[in-house]
Amino acid sequence: MPIHSPWRADFPGILALEAEGQIYLDNAATAQKPQIMLDALLGYYASGAANVHRAQHLPGERATRAFEATRVKVAQWLNAETSEQIVLTRGATEAFNLLAYGLEDRFQPGDEVAISALEHHANLLPWQQLALRRGLELVVLPLDAAGTIDLQQAAQLIGPRTKLLAVSQLSNVLGRWQPLEQLLRLAAAQGAITVVDGAQGVVHGRHDMQALACDFYICSSHKLYGPDGVGVLYSRAEALRQLRHWQFGGEMVAQADYRSAQFRPAPLGFEAGTPPVSGVIALGASLDYLGSLDGAAVTEHEAALHAKLLAGLAARDGVRLVGTPEVALASFVVDGVHNADLAHLLTEQGIAVRAGHHCAMPLMQRLGLAGAIRVSLGLYNDESDLQRLFAGLDKALELLR
Ligand code: PLP
C-alpha cells in the first residue's frame, strides 16, 4: 500500500502546486500552510486591522487579545512556565541577533563561545561577529562520522573559559538529532549560558523546555507551518534577566525624555516597534491546527516516508548520503555530477528540492563538498511525491552521466 498523507488536503499550497505539476520537497527551508492559518491571516485584515498593546479601541483590543493568545499557545507548545518567557521576534535569525547583542556585556576579552561544526549561518555569524567585537574565542565542536557533535571532544573543549554554548537541536543539512542533554550538562557544569537552535527540531515532535533546561531556545514560525516574519525566543526566567535591551523604539519603553529612557522588561521590552501582528495571530492558528493532529501518527507517517526516501537513494548508483539522517530529510551528492546541474534538471521536471550550501558554508567546507541536494519532507508529503522524485532523479542522472 503506498503511503498517503491524511493531512494533504488541509494545505491549499500543496494542492495548488500539484495542480501546476509541481511537487514540494523543500520543507526544511519553509513549509506550506494549513487553510486554518490562511483564514486567520485574512480574518485579521478582513475584520479590521489594528496595532497591538497601545490602542483602547475595539479593533486594537481584539488584535492585542489574539496576539497575546498566540504567546500563550507558544508557551504551552514548548511547555514554558509562563508566557512572559516567550519573546516574539521577526524571525529566528533576529532572535539569534537579539541574543548576541543582548548578552554582549556578559563577556570579557578571551572568553570562549562554543558552537558546533554543523551550525546554520544564523547560529554562527551572530556569535562570530560578537567574538570579533569583544575579542572572544570562537570554539568549534567537531562532529563524528555520522554527523553528531562528538561528545568526547566536546568534553575536552568545553571548559572554564566557555561562557556560552550555542548548538543546533537538529541539523538542517545532516538531519541528525544532537546530544543536547549531554552538551547542556557540560556547559552548565562550567556556568556557561546555553542557546539551542530549534529551527529544525521544533518541527518534529514536541519539546519540553522545562525538561531540556537550556537558557534560550529559538525557532521560526514559517518552518512550523506558520507564516513567515515571526520567530520565537524562549528564555529561562533567570536567563531572561541577563539580557540587555537591543532594539529601541515604540512600545518597548516604560518612560522616556529627551536625554534618557527606561525600558520595559521582557517580553515587550524586546519587541520594539510594531510587531508582525497578522503573522503572530496566524501562528496561533497553525499551532491550533498542529495541536489537533495525532502527533504520534504524524511522526509515524514521516518516519515511514523517510525510510522510503533513504532506501530509494541507497538503491541508486553513485548517490552518496551526506551524514546519516535520522529524520525528515536527506542531503546527498552524486559522484561525477554537480549538485547545481542536478537541481536544475529536477526543477525542470517540477521537483522542488534545495541545492547548494544550505546556509552552512563552513560545514560544507569541512565535508569537502561544493554543495549537496537536500530533499526534506513535510507532513503532507506522500509516496507519490517520492515516486516522482525518483523518476525525475533517474531521468536527470541519465542525462548527466
Ligand atoms: N537554524 C536552522 C537550523 C535553520 O535551518 C534555519 C533556517 O533555515 C535558521 C536557523 C534560520 O531561520 P530563519 O531563516 O527562519 O530566520
- H or E element in which residue 13 lies: helix 12-19
Please report the domains of the chain, with CATH numbers, ordered by start residue.
8-32+294-400 (3.90.1150.10), 38-291 (3.40.640.10)
pLDDT value of residue 401 = 86
Residue nearest to atom 12 of ligand 1 (CA): 92
pLDDT value of residue 307 = 98
For ligand 1, mutation pick of 127, 174, 197, 219 (most atoms within 8 Å of CB): 197
pLDDT value of residue 332 = 97
Residue 245: alpha-carbon gap to chain centroid:
23
pLDDT value of residue 54 = 82
Distance 48 CA to ligand 1 centre (A): 32
Are 197 and 123 in contact, with CB atoms under 8 Å apart?
A: yes
The rounded average pLDDT for each run of 10 residues, N- to C-terminus, in the chain (401 residues) is 95 98 98 98 97 91 97 98 98 98 97 98 98 98 95 98 98 97 98 98 97 97 98 97 96 97 97 98 98 98 98 97 95 95 97 94 93 97 97 97 86
Place of cell 496561533: 284
pLDDT value of residue 148 = 97
Counting from 1 in the atom list of ligand 1, the atom nearest the Cα of 222 is: 15
pLDDT value of residue 99 = 98
Q: Is 135 exposed, middle or buried (0-12, 13-18, 19+ CB in 10 A)?
A: exposed
- DSSP, res 350: T
Tell me the C-alpha to C-alpha distance, in Å, between residue 140 and each of 114, 123, 154, 165, 306: 6, 12, 9, 10, 30
Residues lining ligand 1, Cβ inside 6 A = 91-93, 120, 122-123, 168, 172, 197, 199-200, 220, 222, 359
User: Helix, strand or coil for residue 285?
Assistant: helix
- Show Cβ contacts of residue 182 under 8 Å, excluding neighbours closer than 6 positions: 151, 154
Q: Is 359 a catalytic residue?
A: yes
pLDDT value of residue 216 = 98
